[in-house]
Chains A and B, each alone.
Chain A
């Protein structure tokens, strides 16, 4: 079966750094997405990784290790508006997108 694992919930402090992990077991791999979803809103694109390594985009970075079936999203200088769910999604060998359940990130002052 296909499986994507993420922590259900994480808490961090405003101004700090947080790392959200995602591990996957899928039939093939053709890329990995991270999406942000604020409560009651639609998911919005954050990042895409297909090769091993770190992709940096402002305060957000995403890392991929294909050999380990592992990715993380790193959020720096946390702001209250970063309180949201973060969804990891993998493109499998059939080019279908497999979604994780998401990690709810709570930012405290």
Chain B
């Protein structure tokens, strides 16, 4: 079974530039998550999709971050314009969320390491 795919793996930009990340979840997984993980910290949820609807985006800085999940499969996360403090690893995860399983394990992609100069 293919895992969660993300691209690019690394990105270096200057502040005030724009950047976009792409995620392809595991086939059949209804829920998709975008996390920001700063070095030495746990993942911080930015946005959670259930199919193509937003479940939780309470911690997404909406003045500069946006995300979409067209057709309930792939997703993109955009930052425009980027700030120095956006330097982090951006992790995408997906989960099955079926009613007949004891727990919903999240499967993570390899992440995109963003450096803002």
A interface, CB within 8 angstroms of B: 4, 31, 33, 41-45, 48, 50, 87, 89, 96-97, 99-102
Asked if B105 is at the interface of the complex by the 8 Å CB criterion, the answer is: yes
Given A31-B103, A42-B91, A50-B103, do A99 and B44 touch, yes or no (CB 8 Å)?
yes
How many A-B contacts at CB < 8 Å in the complex?
Answer: 43
Q: How far is the CA of A33 from the CA of B103 in the complex (A)?
A: 10
Q: Which residues of B contact A4 (CB under 8 A)?
A: 42
Q: How far is the CA of A89 from the CA of B42 in the complex (A)?
A: 9
Name, among B43, B102, B105, B111, the residue most crowded by chain A CB atoms within 10 Å (CB to CB).
B43
Given A41-B110, A42-B110, A42-B111, do A99 and B105 touch, yes or no (CB 8 Å)?
no
Q: How far is the CA of A42 from the CA of B34 in the complex (A)?
A: 13
